[in-house]
Structure 1
Amino acid sequence: MQTKNVLGLKEVNAILDAAQREAQANDWRITVAIADDSGELLGLRRLDGAAPMTAMVSAQKARTAALSHKETRVFEDMINGGRTAFLSAPLEGLLEGGVPVLVDGQVIGAVGVSGVKSDQDAQVAKAGIAAII
């Protein structure tokens, strides 16, 4: 029987805290969402001043990264590169800022961030993940 790591409350809180520190160090008003490997939401933190829609967008980015096992930047690049037919795929959150959490080569979840430029969203997500890897 195979076994796998999972994100528990301790890891979720560590990711949220580290992501918040990264955002606050840069004076960014963001929301960070964490999903399990099936894309279901485990945690969400909307910082003061973050737009309400960032909660929905960050959760969608986390879900897409978890289900696809890819950074959401891949999809944004694909669409910007002219493959607009991909917009009809049954996914949301196709903008950079969703990053899978990999442990021992397995995706155990993902982090999605929304609120600033896409590459800055990804920076915050990766800072959060670094707290547990």
Structure 2
Amino acid sequence: MVYAIDLDTAKELVEAAEQRADEIGQPMVVTVANGEGNLVAQHRMDDAWLASVSISKNKAYTSAALDTPTHELAESSEPGNSLYGLQTTDEGRIVVFGGGYPLTRDGDVVGAIGASGGAVEQDRTVAEAGVERWEELVDAGEA
């Protein structure tokens, strides 16, 4: 069976991420995508940067498309390394800094989450809250 993240689940992930953003005092844009990297849900918190709308969407897309957290692409895409220039491919949608994570179920990537609006570590912290909620739902058999 192929699993797809539905809107209700995506909203739960966005809510968990936004709670973390509130805790750290940094408005964010949070995006949840399906396994193909297509938008399921996106929310821009009050006062979050407008540029973060496309950045968070692209972080989710990158994580789904490449089955990896975006921060793991940073070093390999530096000059002289094997993936140098990666961020210039795929019509500029590839992001090589932190804040995007794949969402897995039974070993398969079924979606992704991206957060943008602060420093990279803040983006990662916020997105990780969504990943944690996803894992809780999967473990409880609710996703």
Question: TM > 0.5 between the two?
Answer: yes
Structure 1 vs Structure 2: percent identity of aligned residues? 27
* The one of 53, 57, 69 aligned to 2:51: 53
Separation (CA, whole Å) in 2 of partners of 1:21 and 1:87? 30
Alignment match of 2:123 (pick from 108, 112, 121): 121
Deviation string 1:40-90 (CA, Å, 9 cap, x unpaired) is: 011101111111000000000000100110011121222347433334432
In structure 1, the residue matched to 2:13 is 15
Q: Is the 8 A contact 1:62 1:99 kept in 2?
A: yes
Alignment of 1:56-67 (within 5 A): 56-67=54-65
Q: CA RMSD in A?
A: 1.5
CA contact (8 A) 1:58 1:93 kept: no
Give the Å deviation of 1:9. Answer: 1.6
**Residue in structure 1 matched with residue 4 of structure 2 by the alignment:** 6
Which 5+ residue runs of structure 2 have no aligned equivalent?
136-143
Structure 1 runs (4+) deviating above 6 angstroms are none
Aligned length: 131
The code of the aligned residue for 1:44 comes to: Q
Partner of 1:77: 75
CA distance in 2, matches of 1:81, 1:74: 15
* 8 Å Cα contact 2:117-2:123 kept in structure 1: yes
With 24-33 and 122-131 compared, the bigger mean Cα shift is at 122-131
Q: TM (normalized to structure 1)?
A: 0.90
TM-score when normalising by structure 2: 0.84
AA aligned to 1:95 is: F
